[in-house]
Structure 1
Amino acid sequence: MPQDAKIVRWREWDGPGFEHLVLRGESGRFLADSVVICSGETPFAVRYRIACDAGWHARSVMVDMIGDGRTLVLASDGDGRWTRNGLPMPELTGVLDPDLTVTPFTNTLPIRRLALSTGQSAEITTGFIDFPALSVVPNPQRYTCLEEGRRYLYESRASDFRRELEIDRDGLVVDYPDFWRRG
């Protein structure tokens, strides 16, 4: 990942929603700062910021719901111990990655952290953040590298949901079928 900022924009697969993300690599860590405009029955907007260490372990997640004043602050020690707004979250013990339903960016974290080769797969559990409720629950998942540096299979281990993700050379999603595509 270059040390300067990378700007990525995604648009909803079938809708007017979009995301504008700025990703910076600096001082041995990665910082993502983004605004997402979501369409649907109840449209909403959110700003999130995720800080990761050099190994792509999430260290903090900050979410601001635009317009209603609700916020969420998650912090991690990088080894799977989390707090929410300063209070321990034992239900996320062992979790290394957040998964925000509003963005394909959070797929980048396990893709980069796991560094799988073609044919390899890994089972993980994420801290799944649902929007606009801002609920946070553990979510078991599997990533399989289909073509190193180009394609991954994402699967929920709690349902039959699965999608093949196309990524760029930085591990950022290009296409997330039925949900997001680069715009």
Structure 2
Amino acid sequence: MTDTRALTRQVTWQVTATGGFESAWISRRGRTLSARGRVFAALPEPYWISYELQTGEDFTTRTLTATAETPHHTHHLTLDRAPDGTWTADGEPLGWAADALDCDLGLSPLTNSMPVLRHGLHHIPASGPEEHTFLMVWVSVPHLTVRPSRQTYTHLGPAPDGTRVRFASGDFRSDLEFDGDGLVVSYPGLAYRLSL
């Protein structure tokens, strides 16, 4: 069954890991997502980021454009994923990223949504707990450099405002709470949502 629902929301997170905030305007139609966001961070250095994200069908990244400003530098990134799965960063091929479907903007709760939405991990699965491991194109902040990141998402069960999903990458683990629209409510150690 095809999901044809349309969703438009403004969401703001307090990003405790950086002493800052992220605010995004998010639109979803069927199995595509687009977002425009702004980030303010104070730690470990002050920076601002403006970004735009577009996905293709099945919530796979199509493009991420970002500009980061620090007191001394401005960084830009254009990250593209072609329909054949080829990734480029500022026009340069990312050969290692052929198996990746998603980007992950560092310290941003928004980009955790794509794999969760794709696999329905924000709903109680009829078949019981699910676990999925992905290769992500991870974007550092504020320098906007890219590198591979293996990440595992495991459905844990219901939570007060939706479902809990364990995020793991390397030695890092956190049990995130997602709402029924697949957006982060709480990301212990990183952020929590201010607007519902």
Do both proteins adopt the same fold according to a TM-score greater than 0.5, normalized to the shorter chain?
Answer: yes
Aligned with 1:44 (options 27, 44, 47): 47
Q: Partner of 1:182 in structure 2?
A: 193
1:57 aligns with 2:35: no
Q: Partner of 1:21: helix, strand, or coil?
A: strand
Q: Partner of 1:154 in structure 2?
A: 167
Identity %: 29
CA–CA distance in structure 1, aligned partners of residues 132 and 85 of structure 2 = 17
Unaligned runs of 5+ in 2: none
Aligned with 2:143 (options 133, 157, 174): 133
Q: Partner of 1:164 in structure 2?
A: 175
Unaligned runs of 5+ in 1: none
Matched residue count: 181
The Cα shift of 1:2 comes to 5.0
Q: Partner of 2:20 in structure 1?
A: 17
Aligned with 1:113 (options 98, 101, 118): 118
What is the root-mean-square deviation in Å for CA atoms of aligned residues? 2.0
Aligned with 2:100 (options 92, 95, 99): 95
Inter-CA distance 147–78: structure 2 relative to 1 (3 Å threshold):
farther
The Cα shift of 1:81 comes to 1.6
Q: Partner of 1:150: helix, strand, or coil?
A: strand
Alignment TM-score, normalising by the size of structure 1: 0.90
Alignment TM-score, normalising by the size of structure 2: 0.84
